[in-house]
Structure 1
């Protein structure tokens, strides 16, 4: 912590910090930055095959890990709701503006932590549902393909 004695000293410290935070290397220009492709941020590395392999056990493990994250977020949301009750104002000149600011941040209004946690939980639920749907569809496709291969092996067209 630094004690500041006057406006001039505060401006000097601000300028020093600003110099420290400047990028040290060259900054890319607009022509050097690739345009968005719409394909997402993750690359898919091909291994020479024309298939995608999903392991149902790994998907179950991932869903279990997401369940644990959801429980943590729900606990934080419960804490935020409990702590969202306003406290008594202090006697200083900044007490009322601080109360307004912190009540909004900790409260259930837009920009508050409760709204953010609820948004995270909704996004997590949608993500879990999407993973579950994809896994279910892949299992059904694998089972249908296995039945078709068995039928061909038996020399029949029935599945």
Structure 2
């Protein structure tokens, strides 16, 4: 049981715990083995978290689609520039909110695909290593 002094301390402890959990996803194997051990359950948890973030960003992107509409108010000397600046920052062009959200979504999709690839490679290696063991030495 941890002692919490204040809200900031609670956040620090939560971040430390989350970092510890992330570090448990992949752990070093025995020194003499010279390899790593992949925790498949940890990968599934990571993919679930990625999917949750992807869904959240998708909802934000849907909301942001309404940001690139023109501003109706304003007749002063800066109205044109304000309207243009708002459209760029809210729009889908480079530097806009929608472009940033799409970029984040692409990164999450790439990360998830990479995790799938790593798992497939490790499973294949594990299967090849198991097949190479002589019969009866499965526990070796």
- TM-score (ref. length: structure 2): 0.70
By how many angstroms is 1:147 displaced?
2.5
Q: Are 2:31 and 1:48 equivalent residues in the alignment?
A: yes
Listed one character per residue, the Cα deviations across residues 95-141 of structure 1 (whole Å, up to 9, x for unaligned) are 21111111100011121111111111112111111111011110121
Q: Where in structure 1 do 4 or more consecutive aligned residues deviate above 6 Å? A: 44-47
By how many angstroms is 1:72 displaced?
0.8
Counterpart position of 2:64: 80
CA distance in 1, matches of 2:71, 2:63: 15
Whose helix proportion is higher, 1 or 2? 2
Structure 2: runs of 5 or more not aligned: 1-26
Cα 1:91–1:47 shift into 2, 3 Å? farther
Q: Which one has a bigger Cα radius of gyration?
A: 1
**Residue correspondences, number:** 111
Matched residue SS, 2:135? helix
CA contact (8 A) 1:89 1:96 kept: no
Structure 1: runs of 5 or more not aligned: 1-43, 155-159
Listed one character per residue, the Cα deviations across residues 35-73 of structure 1 (whole Å, up to 9, x for unaligned) are xxxxxxxxx978634011101100000011000010011
Whose strand proportion is higher, 1 or 2? 2
Cα 1:60–1:45 shift into 2, 3 Å? closer
Counterpart position of 1:61: 45
- TM-score (ref. length: structure 1): 0.62
